[in-house]
Structure formats: C-alpha cells, structure tokens
Amino acid sequence: MSVDIGIDVAGAEEFQQAIAHFDADMQRRVQEQLARWAEAVTAEARRLVPVRTGYLRSTIYTRTVGWSAEVGAEASYASSVEFGTCYAAAKPFLNPAVQARLPELERFLLEALDLAKSEAGV
C-alpha cells in the first residue's frame, strides 16, 4: 500500500528554474574566469622565462577545456630549463608563475559564483 502526500510548495517550480539557470551560468562563468586566470599565469611565465633567442618564450601556451586549464611550453627543451639537468641548473618559470597567481584563483572563482548567483536570482 502506498500513500501519496501531495504537498505543493509555492514557488518550487520557479526555484527549480532558478537553480537550473544558476547551474548553467555558474559553469560558464567559472570557465571564463579559469581562462582569465590561466592567461595571467601564461603572461607571468613569459615574463619569468630565461631568454636567449626568444623561442622558448614564444612556445608558452594556455589551453582551457571545461573545468581545466593547462599552461605549458612546447619547446622540446622546456622541461630541461624548468627542472634543470645534470649539466645545467634549473631556471623555473612555469611553477613560479602558477604559484604567483594561485592566490588570485580563489578570488576569480568566487567572483564567478557571485555573478552566477545574482543573474539567477538565487
């Protein structure tokens, strides 16, 4: 035997729509802010990278897909510069760039959430 208790909460449908809008907007805003942050990390890495010919600096890139961001360098010797070798000392530029910009990441993400909440009316 089942008992159906039909409780109609006033505004429930509007609330569900607001939450759905918030979810979509939040994802978009977080992705935008993550891309913005990754570009700042890339700019910092380009500023920090040791330059002899400029090629290594020209290969520093940012890729953002969904909820992830990748900052790196495509030059074949980038890891040797970043981590060093048995013949040359490390001259890190990627890790320090991430570390320098890490405090901004939380602020960027909180801004995205606040904007999404205000737009959704939540």
Q: Is 84 left (phi over 0), alpha (psi -120 to 50) or beta?
A: left
Query: What are all long-range contacts of 103-110, with beta carbons under 8 Å and residues at least 24 apart?
Result: 104/37, 104/40, 105/37, 108/33, 108/34, 108/36, 108/37, 109/30, 109/33, 109/34
Residue whose pair of structure tokens reads 């010919």 in the numeric block: 53
pTM of the predicted model as reported, rounded to 2 decimal places: 0.75
Extents of the domains making up the chain: 12-120
Tens of pLDDT along the chain (122 residues) come to 555 545 555 566 766 666 666 677 778 888 888 999 999 999 999 999 999 999 999 999 999 988 889 999 999 999 999 999 999 999 999 999 999 999 998 888 888 888 877 777 66
Which residues have a Cβ under 8 Å from the Cβ of 111 and sit 6 or more positions away?
A: 29, 33
